[in-house]
């Protein structure tokens, strides 16, 4: 089978299209013919080893000290079940599924084996493989952290980075939970964030969201770029601050706040179970949650896709379509 492989950390050009052995499912696994995958920020960091300094050592141990332990990236995917292990009960051949593959990566391949009890479930009936592939990481992350914040109907929630993968889902899910949502993004993404249901949108290139003295029950920094001092002064008493990419310079200030009335939730992975995906599937099928796709690339355009995402300006998600993967890799 064809797969995108990398043997060294580095720029997008380290990604190579190669023929490798097709996997076979174990007793409790399903073999998925991958139709679509994505390029996430996590893929970019793993490929170039661009992790926040606070996570350098554990990330290095996990990813590989001398080179990548997991030679095939791709942390979410959608496809069709080609075969199942003898003990599999939940899925059958021909099922269309979508899944997170954050634990061992591997979405950048024509085939991927997945545990039947992992974060994998049937695709919503009303969307494409490309759309389904863009749900398992961003939407699951947004749902996980908003649940931890225990949002109540009528609360005021600010989403910083509202036009990104996590942010576009966070705006919608916070609204589903009944919140009054303020999204923060750049000028070119104002209309997008409004279309997702945000009650108010702030253009960070023109306005500091904290300048008018407004306070929020929850501030969710999805990109780790909001000024910490602005967030702290803009939280209500007993408010919740969420940051997915805590850096070491922030620790001292956050530590001081730990003993105050503010609840602080820092970056962590959501549980590797199908529960969240099933919940999100129902929202999509009910027309309450939509997927934002910025660009779609073919398999052989993986270098260009990584180069684009690495610029840090994508809207929503960038998808890789594996249906046209018989050409040489473009560099």
How do the domains of the chain map onto residue ranges? 2-135+291-321, 138-266
Which whole number is the average pLDDT over 14-41? 97
| Backbone dihedral angles phi then psi of residue 68, each to the nearest 5 degrees | -60, 125
Mean of pLDDT over the chain: 89
- pLDDT at position 321, please? 97
**Looking at residue 270, what DSSP letter applies?**
P
At residue 59, the pLDDT reads 58
Q: SS3 for 276-313, per residue?
A: HHHHHHHHHHCCCCCCCEEEEEEHHHHHHHHHHHHCCC
**Pairwise CA distance, residues 183 & 205, whole Å:** 13
Find the mean pLDDT for residues 244-265: 61
**Structure tokens that stand for 165 in this block:** 């993968």
Contacts with 288 (C-beta within 8 Å, 6 or more apart), sequence order: 172, 176
Residues listed for the chain = 331
Q: What is the pLDDT of residues 173-201, one digit of tens each?
A: 999 999 999 999 999 999 999 999 999 99
pLDDT for the residue numbered 254:
60
Q: Give the pLDDT of residue 251.
A: 53
Closest of 78, 86, 89 to residue 33, by C-alpha: 78
Model confidence band, residue 324 (pLDDT cutoffs 50, 70, 90): low
- Return phi, psi of residue 297, to 5°: -120, 160
Query: Which of 113-127, 235-249, 294-308 shows the lowest mean pLDDT across its residues?
Result: 235-249
Q: How far, in Å, CA of 225 to CA of 295, rounded? A: 23
Q: Which of 8-12, 178-182, 236-240, 323-327 has the highest mean pLDDT?
A: 178-182
How much is the pLDDT for 249?
45
For the domain 2-135+291-321, what is the CATH code? 3.90.180.10
Tens-place pLDDT, residues 104-136: 999 999 999 999 999 999 999 999 999 999 999
Share of the chain above pLDDT 70, in %: 88
| For residue 60, pLDDT beyond 50 | yes
Query: To which H or E segment does residue 147 belong?
Result: helix 138-148
pLDDT recorded at residue 226: 86
What is the model's pLDDT at position 331? 32
Nearby residues of 260 by Cβ (< 8 Å), 6 or more positions away: none
Q: Is the pLDDT of residue 141 over 50?
A: yes
Annotation: CATH topology of 138-266: Rossmann fold (3.40.50)
Whole-number pLDDT of residue 245: 74
């Amino acid at each position: 089978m064809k797969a995108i492989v990398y043997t060294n950390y580095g720029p997008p050009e380290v990604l190579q299209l190669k023929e490798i052995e097709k996997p076979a499912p174990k007793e409790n696994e399903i073999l998925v013919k991958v139709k679509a995958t994505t390029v996430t920020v996590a893929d970019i960091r793993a490929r170039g080893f661009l992790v926040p300094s606070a996570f350098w050592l554990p990330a290095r141990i996990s990813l590989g000290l001398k080179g990548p332990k997991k030679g095939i990236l791709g942390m979410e995917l959608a496809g069709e079940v080609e075969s199942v292990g003898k003990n599999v009960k939940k899925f059958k051949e021909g099922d269309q599924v979508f899944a997170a593959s954050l634990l061992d990566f591997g979405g950048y391949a024509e085939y991927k084996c997945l545990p039947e009890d992992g974060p994998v479930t049937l695709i919503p009936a009303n969307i494409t493989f490309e759309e389904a592939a863009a749900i398992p990481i961003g939407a699951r992350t947004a749902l996980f952290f908003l649940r931890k914040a225990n949002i109540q109907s009528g609360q005021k929630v600010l989403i910083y980075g509202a036009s990104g993968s996590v942010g576009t889902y966070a705006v919608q899910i916070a609204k589903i939970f009944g919140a009054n949502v303020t999204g923060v993004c750049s000028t070119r993404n104002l209309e997008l964030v409004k279309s997702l249901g945000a009650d108010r949108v702030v253009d960070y290139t023109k306005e500091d969201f904290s300048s008018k003295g407004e306070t929020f029950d929850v501030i969710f920094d999805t990109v780790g770029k909001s000024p910490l001092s602005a967030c702290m002064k803009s939280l209500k008493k007993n408010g919740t601050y969420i940051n997915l990419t805590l850096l070491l310079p922030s620790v001292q200030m956050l530590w001081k706040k730990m003993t105050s009335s503010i609840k602080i939730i820092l970056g962590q992975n959501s549980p590797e179970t199908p529960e969240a995906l099933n919940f999100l599937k129902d929202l999509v099928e009910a027309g309450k949650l939509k997927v934002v796709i910025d660009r779609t690339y073919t398999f052989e355009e993986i270098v260009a896709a990584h180069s684009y995402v690495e610029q840090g300006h994508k809207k929503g998600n960038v998808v890789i379509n594996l249906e046209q993967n018989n050409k040489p890799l473009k560099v």
